[in-house]
Structure 1
Amino acid sequence: MALLALLGRSTDPAAKTLPSSAPLRLGAALALTGNANVYGQDQRMGIGLARQWFKAKPQTRPVQLQLEDGASDEPSAIAAFNLLIRRGVVALIGPTLSQQAFAADPIAQRQGVPVVAPSNTASGIPQIGSFISRVSAQSSVIAPLSIDEALRREPSTERVAVFFAQDDAYSTTETAIFQKALAARKLKPVSVQRTQLADNDFQNPITAALQQRPQLVVISAQAVDGGNLIRQLRELGYRGQIVVGNGLNTPNIYPICQRWCDGVLIAQAYSPELNTPINRTFRRVFAEANKGRIPGQIAAQAWSAYQVLFEAIQRLQARGGLDGVTLGEARKRLMQELLAGHYDTPLGPIHFRSDGEVVQERFYVAEVRMDASGRSGQFTLVREQDLPEGGP
């Protein structure tokens, strides 16, 4: 038994001393297949561009990236996390969906592996444990801003219909935030419709909602089901304002809802119009790699997730904090360094609270404006707002 225990310890990558000056490995588990790949492809692009950009910068410790498909479900995210941890990564980026994070993050927490979430906005993600953080601001901070913009445009709004995907952790969390924001503005939904992520025919819930003559529709869903819902709302005659949540915060919705995307309002944690050196760089390298396309929030957050880990590693190595230590100790020190830093990212200046929650003070409301083809468009900035560190 003692021999078996010794052998088990010897094969644990966390117990091995890091070779001096050898590259450190970061792991990324992203949704590259399944419905959530509309986000995962943006994230792969953002992380890949960040890796190329920072690789060309002076380094105290080289960094390698290992990418695994976390797909769009919890078992796949768990498998990707386990595989990357066994391979000896010093930290993880991902998974793509909040629902996946609630399943996979506890694995990293138990093994002491830092996690930076690039797109998990549901309440409670950093609170999973001391090794969990995110660069994606939680929905409670930014979602109400789009409600305010809709009411600014139509102050007489009294009748609101709410749709949300009831089988998705992000959507159920966000709809509660939206409905709380509506209540604070003395608006009670005249219709609340529960959908499923796999739904593609929304005629029944839309018909039920439209019977209540809503002036505003508020949607919490993912990109595919949410995009189809928007299109079908318009096709069935709804002409009022539509506010959507973070699940539709990707240019990949354009070919789904097509010309019916036009006019949709959405609160964002990123604006391509932010005029800072790092965001200008991000926009330029993104456009060069994507035939002039303008980047969206998901790609910017993925870049930022890689950036904060890369910069924390360089600072830690510069002080000798990675010399002669085990991988397990390096992970612990990296998490401490990550939380202590301040970062100038495409999202703007950010840092972390002690519990791993991102602190970001500037947010935006954008309106989708489709081009004449009805197949492409852009998120056009209509409002920006600085928030105090404590939130709204």
Structure 2
Amino acid sequence: MNNAIARTTALLSTCALLLTGCGGGTSTVTNSPTNSPNSTPNNTATNTPATTGTSSGAIPIGIGVAQTSNVALLGQEQVAGAKLAQKYFNSKGGVNGTPIKLVFQDTSGDEAGAINAFQTLINRDKVVGIVGPTLSQQAFSADPIGERAKVPIIGPSNTAKNIPEIGDYVARVSAPVSIVAPNSVKAALKQNPQLKKVAVLYAQNDAFSKSETEIFQQTVKDQGLELVTVQKFQTSDTDFQSQATNAINLKPDLVIISGLAADGGNLVRQLRELGYKGLIVGGNGLNTSNLLPVCKALCDGVLIAQAYSPEHPGEINAAFRKAYIEEYKKEPPQFSAQAFAAVQVYVEALQSLDKKSKINKLQLPELRTQLNKQILEGVYNTPLGEIGFTPTGEVVQKDFYVAQIKMEKDGSQGKFTFLK
């Protein structure tokens, strides 16, 4: 990604800008999520004036994440975090007095869905930039759409290798798997220093899981451990008896799973049901409380590396955490925090850009270009902690964690307990 910025002033002037620079069709399709991040929102068509966003001149920022399909367990958490960011920053005056308006498009769980959502956000909804998509596999297909259109893209959860290298307009607030994943293996070794044998299972049809498992397998070797088997599955699978049995027969001390919440949770459950009693490490795709209803009590003890902690000190995280708990009655997950941070980057970059050159005087293509540059120049104090970007759009983040799932015996409730 390159370097640039954006921000606003007078509502009438901004409205005029958006009318000429961001104006598009006569309707904007937005998703209207319910209050629960675990419920799937529906698409509703909202008729609007020729401007994009609202008639008051709100600045449109696209949110292209998975709200349907098996990936929705993650995407719904991103919707929740983004909506909290919109409410928080608009309550603080938005972009120098002009509010932001999030425009939601459902990417579903595949590449075609992500491409369609990005094209709609760029060409019809005329957004200044996009937060999304949910999966790295989707990013490799959809991000080039934004790159060709010169629209900034901030990946909220795309941690596979080479995501920022897709193009100059692509960045991410999600730390690469190469930085995060090894921490959970080290935590497992700390809990069981006698650990020697490791079995790895991963979703072969998911680009992120394939990227993540390479990191896990290299970490196993780097730690002097024996990799006894590598088993493959599909994210759409529900029966893992064969893979689980093959792994258990080799008597591993640790099992590492790279997949998504639904398949990963079922795999954890079936490993335990078949008698596996050793440690389990889950990858980033399992890093959601939506995993808990899948494996219930059998989720207990799973270790997952984290790029976010609800207990991270700082005013912005305290405000985010408080708002999330008030809205959803539970601690905020990483995917929500990263989505909040991505929206925050856009807001603060727009604010900074407006101080340099009033964004209400920029045509949409120039606004997008300048915003793209400003994003990379900034340093942002987010719920994730302080973050910035390299010249290529890679996130620079300092703080990482490991959590272990602790479940009630009846499996009715559970939580991520952060290890010291």
Under a length normalisation based on structure 2, what TM-score does the superposition of the two structures give? 0.86
Q: Please report how far the alpha carbon of residue 17 of structure 1 lies from its aligned counterpart in structure 2 after TM superposition.
A: 3.8
Q: Of the candidates 248, 253, 257, which is equivalent to residue 219 of structure 1?
A: 257
Task: Report the counterpart of residue 232 of structure 1 in structure 2.
Answer: 270
Residue identity in the other structure for 1:140: S
- Residue pair 1:137, 1:359 contacting (<8 A) in 2 also: yes
Task: Report the counterpart of residue 312 of structure 1 in structure 2.
Answer: 349
Q: Of the candidates 305, 308, 322, which is equivalent to residue 270 of structure 1?
A: 308
Is 1:114 the counterpart of 2:149 in the alignment?
no
Is 1:48 the counterpart of 2:86 in the alignment?
no
1:130-178 deviation line (CA, Å, top 9, x unaligned) = 0000000010001001101111111111111110011110000000000
Q: Please report how far the alpha carbon of residue 54 of structure 1 lies from its aligned counterpart in structure 2 after TM superposition.
A: 0.6
Is 1:36 the counterpart of 2:66 in the alignment?
no
Residue identity in the other structure for 2:150: G
Moved over 4 A (4+): 13-16, 18-21
Q: Please report how far the alpha carbon of residue 50 of structure 1 lies from its aligned counterpart in structure 2 after TM superposition.
A: 0.7
**Within 1, Cα distance between the matches of 2:284 and 2:76?**
16
Q: Of the candidates 316, 326, 329, which is equivalent to residue 288 of structure 1?
A: 326
Task: Report the counterpart of residue 389 of structure 2 in structure 1.
Answer: 352
Identity within the alignment, %: 47
Q: Please report how far the alpha carbon of residue 321 of structure 1 lies from its aligned counterpart in structure 2 after TM superposition.
A: 4.1
- Residue pair 2:22, 2:126 contacting (<8 A) in 1 also: no
**Within 2, Cα distance between the matches of 1:339 and 1:239?**
46
Q: Of the candidates 61, 76, 96, which is equivalent to residue 26 of structure 1?
A: 61
**Within 1, Cα distance between the matches of 2:345 and 2:254?**
38
Is 1:331 the counterpart of 2:368 in the alignment?
yes
Task: Report the counterpart of residue 14 of structure 2 in structure 1.
Answer: none
Is 1:375 the counterpart of 2:415 in the alignment?
no
**Within 2, Cα distance between the matches of 1:285 and 1:373?**
29
Q: Unaligned regions of 5+ residues in structure 1, if any?
A: 1-12, 384-392
Partner SS for 1:378: strand
Q: Of the candidates 110, 113, 123, which is equivalent to residue 73 of structure 1?
A: 110
Task: Report the counterpart of residue 10 of structure 1 in structure 2.
Answer: none
Q: Please report how far the alpha carbon of residue 320 of structure 1 lies from its aligned counterpart in structure 2 after TM superposition.
A: 2.4
**Within 1, Cα distance between the matches of 2:346 and 2:381?**
13
Partner SS for 2:311: coil
Residue identity in the other structure for 1:153: Q
Q: Please report how far the alpha carbon of residue 323 of structure 1 lies from its aligned counterpart in structure 2 after TM superposition.
A: 3.8
Partner SS for 1:189: strand
- Residue pair 1:166, 1:194 contacting (<8 A) in 2 also: yes
Task: Report the counterpart of residue 163 of structure 2 in structure 1.
Answer: 125
Residue identity in the other structure for 2:193: P
Q: Please report how far the alpha carbon of residue 40 of structure 1 lies from its aligned counterpart in structure 2 after TM superposition.
A: 0.9
Residue identity in the other structure for 2:412: R
Is 1:88 the counterpart of 2:126 in the alignment?
yes
Task: Report the counterpart of residue 229 of structure 2 in structure 1.
Answer: 191
Q: Of the candidates 92, 96, 103, which is equivalent to residue 141 of structure 2?
A: 103
Q: Of the candidates 217, 221, 243, which is equivalent to residue 205 of structure 1?
A: 243
Task: Report the counterpart of residue 387 of structure 1 in structure 2.
Answer: none
**Within 2, Cα distance between the matches of 1:220 and 1:18?**
40
Under a length normalisation based on structure 1, what TM-score does the superposition of the two structures give? 0.92
Residue identity in the other structure for 2:191: R
1:91-132 deviation line (CA, Å, top 9, x unaligned) = 001011110000000000001000011111111111100000
Partner SS for 2:419: strand
- Residue pair 1:15, 1:326 contacting (<8 A) in 2 also: no
Bigger RCO (CA 8 Å, 6+ sep):
2
**Within 2, Cα distance between the matches of 1:129 and 1:376?**
43
Q: CA RMSD in A?
A: 1.7
**Within 2, Cα distance between the matches of 1:374 and 1:276?**
33
**Within 2, Cα distance between the matches of 1:134 and 1:171?**
18
Residue identity in the other structure for 1:272: P
Q: Unaligned regions of 5+ residues in structure 2, if any?
A: 1-16, 24-50
- Residue pair 1:321, 1:333 contacting (<8 A) in 2 also: no
Q: Please report how far the alpha carbon of residue 284 of structure 1 lies from its aligned counterpart in structure 2 after TM superposition.
A: 0.5
Partner SS for 2:400: strand
- Residue pair 2:60, 2:128 contacting (<8 A) in 1 also: yes
Partner SS for 2:77: helix
Deviates more, 1:275-284 or 1:249-258: 275-284
Task: Report the counterpart of residue 201 of structure 2 in structure 1.
Answer: 163
- Residue pair 1:223, 1:252 contacting (<8 A) in 2 also: yes
- Residue pair 2:235, 2:259 contacting (<8 A) in 1 also: yes
Partner SS for 1:362: coil
- Residue pair 1:18, 1:325 contacting (<8 A) in 2 also: no
